[in-house]
Amino acid sequence: MASEKIKAAPKSAVKPAAKAKVKYPEKFTAQTIINYVSEKHEIPKAKAKEMIEDLFDVINAGVMKGERVPMGKLGKVYVKVRPATKARMGRNPITGEDIKIAAKKATKVPKFTFSKAYKEAALAAKIKK
């Protein structure tokens, strides 16, 4: 009887569970995005929150090093230097009085450049009124 073959389970009985399609959230807040990611990838919410925070920490570190950091299909984020301005004379539009406008130092400001594909996709976007 050792020569008897054990029947394997039919292939139809060993199907992997199909992933249910997860709907996008109604409102896009930090918590709803965390819930969406945790449901879609079947991971705990704490792990999803940690992953999202790590993503933004890495982006922040790259930007603070002075690099242009790509944000997937969305665009790039970076820091730009706004040049200094000299002191100049201006005019008060209400009274017409001449005033001196003070000089400003050069400053660094965060910037975001959208990708061409995202700009084109935005033309077809729905707008809430």
Coil, helix or strand for 47? helix
Count CB atoms within 10 A of the CB of residue 38: 19
Whole-number pLDDT of residue 126: 87
Domain boundaries, the chain: 24-65, 68-120
Whole-number pLDDT of residue 40: 92
* Residues in contact with 59: Cβ distance below 8 Å, sequence separation at least 6, in sequence order: 69, 71, 77
Q: How much is the CA Rg of the chain, to the nearest whole Å? A: 28
Looking at residue 91, its amino acid is R
Count CB atoms within 10 A of the CB of residue 71: 15
Count CB atoms within 10 A of the CB of residue 75: 18
Whole-number pLDDT of residue 3: 53
Choose among 55, 33, 35: nearest CA to 43.
Answer: 35
Do residues 111 and 78 make contact, with C-beta atoms less than 8 angstroms apart?
yes
Whole-number pLDDT of residue 127: 86
pTM above the 0.85 mark? no
According to DSSP, the β-strands at 88-91 and 98-101 are antiparallel
Whole-number pLDDT of residue 35: 94
For the chain of 129 residues, list the mean pLDDT of each consecutive stretch of 10.
53 54 89 94 94 95 95 95 96 95 96 95 88
